Structure 1
Amino acid sequence: MQDFFDGPYWGTGVGYVPQLFHRTDSFRLFDPRGRMAVHRATDRHLVLGRVRSTGHEITLEEPDRLTLLFPWAGRITCTIREEMTGAKTGGVLAFAPNRRRTVVEPPRRGGPFVADVLTLPMAVLREAQRTEDIRPGPISTHRLAELYRIRQRVALMLTTDEAGHPVRADAPETREIAADLAIAMSDPDDRVQSAGQRRVAQAIALMRAHYAEALSITMIAGHLGCSRRSLQAAFREMGYPNPQEMLAGIRLDAVRVMLLSGRASVTESALGCGITHLGRFSQAYRRRYGEGPTDTRRTRF
């Protein structure tokens, strides 16, 4: 994996845009004094980037690659053939090869827009689906568990130190990300509609909706009408982390969003996202993202 840091970029013009995509036709910062910085990592097939921006619009073309966008702070809106779609903090967007106009907006409470970007050749994705014996489906975001697992991996691969230099984490190989994408982009008709799978999907939805509350796995199981043990078995059957690890990861992701936006201190962010064991929090955060929470807050731009 080759890593390097580009930016910050000042002013307007296509020449200021790092080559995350196949072709950029136009680029404009909303504020002439604004800036955009990109930390990029590439290998033979995979292109990753972390974008920080004070706000911009860009028109680009990606003719043969799948694109995933994971906003950590702010909002992104994309227009494709006059159809508009978007995602805000904590969301995800997935695109088949296309030409699109993208508008990036920073958080209203201050701080830059921050998002991770992944592009992968469609040929690599289709090969992974053949290897996994999965029928290809539409490019969509209906398999959120796999997509958020990819988001965590991408975050680790793009970790930088205070000087903006890449920090080596246990980066997964391209084929591992492609395998997760093969499942995430599978044909919905191929999905096993078991009771266990429905429970997992419902449990994850509850976690994402109520992570800031005093939520426990026993409470989630009770809400779903099953035992804690059967819920754990369903997660294990689907190949996911156990429910407690999944909930902890969702809370850590939420903390990271708050730290990147600069809205609160580390302690306030952790407590506001349902984390009560502060002694273990920093260690768990570092394991997940390759940097401490204070590092994330200090290097927002």
Structure 2
Amino acid sequence: MALRVLEIRDDSAYGPRDSLFGDIRSFRFTPVRGGFLRTLSLQLGAIRVAEVSSAGHDIALGAVGGVTFLAPQSGRIAVQTPCTRLDARPGGALIIGPGERETFVRREERADFRAMVVIAPAEDGAKRTRAAGAAVDSPSARSLSGFLRYLLGEVAEPDSPLLRPRALRAAEALLRDSLGAVDGVDAPVAAAEADGVAQRRIRAAEDYMRAHADAPLTVEAVARAVGVGPRALHAAFRDRLGTTPRALLAEIRLERARARLLAPGPETTVTDAAMESGFAHLGRFALYYRRRFGESPSKTLRKARGEA
């Protein structure tokens, strides 16, 4: 799985084959002199993730066919859709549904524009997003932005454990869930909708997660397996269990990882235990593990081998 790197310094050379979005109607650098556009992109199944850097540009796009998440890290961005105008700076983000749009990117305070981007099929993140899009400033959006920075930084290293097929599939599943969270899948729902999720289906969802925890698993897949919608499942977990499906899945995976560390093979590493248990973010795994068990995963492994 290779990163695709593209750098453009002549706006007349930028065409549909180069664009993350495909259908380019117009493109120009602003300012004209010294302009550049650099994209670092990775394809994960049907989802594309990217880091975009630019000294400033305007681009008009035709029928973009999926949902786009844009999180500026520096500079600012404005997006004009047929219905509304959206703006974002560092700390905020935009989520935009399918359709035409114009995008205006600017550098600020001697810093070039840089943004993390996800482009996904509409069903993976835009079920509730209007074509007009929305500006978002939430923990879910910041968490997704942070994961994108981690993901692209990791896969740039040729020996990164995240390049393992299992880890890449886990990363794709996490991206799908993260997009759903940004788009409001965990927002409050009507009481009747949550009440419609019977206790037996909550138990069935937990059983399904335990049976498939090591595999790339999304909340939507769990909900589909037990015959309910993702939002209703979120609400039922929150109201009846005081947690979320994703949080319970993480707890199950932590238990699996600890079991692997307590009974290690000769070649077992912390990375192996985390990846084989379904984790895609090693930094977050170590943080969650310490919070849950009061020690680092490496300490657990050393103790199991009689080295502590």
**Greater mean deviation of Cα atoms: 110-119 or 24-33:** 24-33
Summarize the alignment of residues 239-278 of structure 1 with structure 2, pairs less than 5 Å apart: none
Deviation of residue 124 (structure 1)? 3.6
Cα separation, 2, equivalents of 1:49 and 1:34: 19
Q: Match for 2:36: what amino acid? A: R
Q: Secondary structure at the match of 2:153?
A: coil
Residue 59 of structure 1 is matched in structure 2 by 60
Q: Secondary structure at the match of 1:20?
A: coil
Structure of higher CA gyration radius: 2
Distance verdict in 2 for CA 1:152–1:122, change over 3 Å: same
Deviation of residue 106 (structure 1)? 0.5
Cα separation, 2, equivalents of 1:125 and 1:146: 13
Long gaps (5+) in structure 1: 127-135, 193-235, 242-285, 289-301
The one of 147, 150, 155 aligned to 2:149: 155
Q: Residue deviations 1:22-76, cap 9 Å, x none? A: 3111110112332111111113201111111111111113432000001000000
Distance verdict in 2 for CA 1:184–1:66, change over 3 Å: same
Q: Residue deviations 1:159-193, cap 9 Å, x none? A: 179xx77774465432221122223324655278x
Cα separation, 2, equivalents of 1:173 and 1:5: 20
Q: Match for 2:129: what amino acid? A: P
Deviation of residue 100 (structure 1)? 0.8
Residue 146 of structure 1 is matched in structure 2 by 140
Deviation of residue 6 (structure 1)? 1.2
1:5–1:165 contact (8 Å) kept in structure 2: no
The one of 172, 185, 193 aligned to 1:174: 172
Across the two proteins, how many residue pairs are aligned to each other? 194
TM-score (norm 2): 0.53
1:69 equivalent in alignment to 2:70: yes
Identical-residue share of aligned pairs (%): 19
Q: Residue deviations 1:93-149, cap 9 Å, x none? A: 0100021111100012x02111111100013447xxxxxxxxx53354557222222
Cα separation, 1, equivalents of 2:178 and 2:137: 10
Cα separation, 1, equivalents of 2:70 and 2:121: 15
Cα separation, 2, equivalents of 1:240 and 1:191: 21
Q: Residue deviations 1:224-269, cap 9 Å, x none? A: xxxxxxxxxxxx835799xxxxxxxxxxxxxxxxxxxxxxxxxxxx
2:4–2:40 contact (8 Å) kept in structure 1: yes
CA-based RMSD: 3.7
Instruction: Indicate the structure whose relative CO is greater, using CA pairs within 8 Å and at least 6 residues apart.
Output: 1
Long gaps (5+) in structure 2: 192-241, 248-281, 285-308
Cα separation, 1, equivalents of 2:78 and 2:145: 19
Cα separation, 2, equivalents of 1:167 and 1:89: 31
2:25–2:61 contact (8 Å) kept in structure 1: yes
Residue 3 of structure 2 is matched in structure 1 by 3
2:81–2:102 contact (8 Å) kept in structure 1: yes
2:125–2:180 contact (8 Å) kept in structure 1: yes
Q: Secondary structure at the match of 2:179?
A: helix
1:237 equivalent in alignment to 2:243: yes
Q: Match for 2:5: what amino acid? A: F
Q: Secondary structure at the match of 2:61?
A: strand
